[in-house]
């Protein structure tokens, strides 16, 4: 089995892949041509319908991660190509980054470092006065594995009330998780001190947070997105932050990736940006790579994969 890996993966799963097939990886000159691939492992590489048609032997596209918006799922279905992902592998990593961004925003950590670098003549300047999370409310947009994990960390670690919005989870199921579900996103946003986004990029979530949603949020609110960039409208976010309509925001994902250094959001003291590092931990990279390769091995052996994308 020929396994093409156009994006770098961790050395441990790579060694496992080399045991089950012939691997063509990202630094090989043949990597641009997938025509003889039996399997693909992709992180950010785009897998188009055209690419699939040019690869008649392709049996499986294993996504190294959760979101499959870089893969033409409908084309894969038409051509009988299996698509899998790794829904459990990066849950801890992404959730921990979301909480890190919430804390960094609440206590203005990046701004504090910048002020130190530029020189200070006094300690604890007024501009660095932050807010506590204790007894505040976090509104979770998306109540899947990552959203639930973020909620649990904030509930048990910071005594926050946890509420949520998710059209695909019933109020009863949310209640069992200790989360009060809102049927109306606007109503949830109005009372949230922190908003954390954990949803896939699909047509219904493009610009899910834009001018009308930002306008109802508290002036002190913190918005964090670790999902996909186009879920938050960056122009509207800039307007809300620059006029202090909301308190702060942090994005790990952007409308255009990698984002330009000229992105206007980077000019703002109440904004934090990270370059899509949600899943970038040693542990998550190993688990995602290993899971992707195990799915390929199952297909090679004629078995049903565990994490087939519907």
> Cα–Cα distance between 44 and 60 in angstroms, integer?
16
- Burial 80-109, CB ≥16 within 10 A → b, else e: ebbbbbbbebbbbbbbbbbbbbbbbbbbbb
User: Residues 175, 183, 257, 267: which is the catalytic one?
Assistant: 257
- What are the angstrom distances between the C-alpha of 74 and each of 28, 83, 198? 29, 10, 23
Q: How many residues does the chain have?
A: 310
Q: Respond yes or no: is residue 74 known to be catalytic.
A: no
Q: Respond yes or no: is residue 257 known to be catalytic.
A: yes
> Cα–Cα distance between 33 and 179 in angstroms, integer?
48
Q: Respond yes or no: is residue 43 known to be catalytic.
A: no
Q: Which two tokens stand for residue 127?
A: 């501009």
User: Residues 213, 228, 295, 298: which is the catalytic one?
Assistant: 228
- For residues 192 and 137, the answer to whether their CB atoms sit within 8 Å is yes
Q: Is 117 helix (H, G, I), strand (E, B) or coil?
A: helix
> Cα–Cα distance between 300 and 284 in angstroms, integer?
24
Q: Which two tokens stand for residue 248?
A: 């702060």
- Which residues does the annotation mark as catalytic? 228, 257, 276
């Amino acid at each position: 089995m020929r396994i093409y890996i156009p994006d770098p993966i961790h050395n441990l799963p790579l060694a496992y892949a080399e045991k089950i097939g012939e691997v063509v990886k990202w630094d090989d000159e043949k990597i641009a041509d997938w025509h003889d691939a039996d399997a693909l492992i992709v992180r950010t590489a785009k897998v188009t319908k055209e690419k699939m048609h040019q690869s008649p032997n392709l049996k499986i596209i294993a996504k190294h991660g959760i979101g499959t918006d870089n893969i033409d799922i409908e084309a894969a279905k038409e051509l009988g190509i299996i698509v899998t992902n790794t829904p459990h592998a990066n849950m801890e990593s992404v959730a921990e980054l979301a909480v890190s961004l919430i804390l960094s925003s609440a206590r203005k950590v990046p701004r504090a470092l910048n002020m130190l670098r530029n020189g200070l003549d006094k300690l604890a300047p007024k501009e660095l006065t932050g807010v506590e999370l204790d007894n505040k409310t976090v509104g979770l947009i998306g109540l899947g594995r990552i959203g639930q994990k973020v909620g649990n960390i904030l509930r048990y670690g910071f005594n926050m009330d946890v509420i949520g919005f998710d059209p695909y989870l019933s109020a009863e199921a949310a209640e069992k998780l200790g989360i009060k579900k809102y049927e109306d996103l606007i109503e949830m946003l109005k009372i949230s001190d922190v908003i954390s986004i954990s949803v896939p990029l699909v047509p219904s979530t493009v610009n899910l947070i834009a001018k009308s949603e930002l306008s109802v949020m508290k002036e002190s609110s913190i918005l964090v997105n670790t999902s996909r960039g186009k879920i938050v409208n960056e122009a509207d976010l800039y307007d809300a932050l620059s006029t202090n309509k909301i308190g702060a925001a942090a994005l790990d994902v952007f409308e255009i990736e990698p984002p330009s250094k000229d992105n206007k959001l980077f000019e703002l003291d109440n904004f934090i940006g990270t370059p899509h590092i949600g899943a970038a931990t040693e542990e998550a990279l190993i688990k995602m790579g290993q899971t992707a390769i195990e799915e390929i091995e199952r297909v090679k052996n004629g078995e049903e994969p565990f994490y087939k994308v519907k």
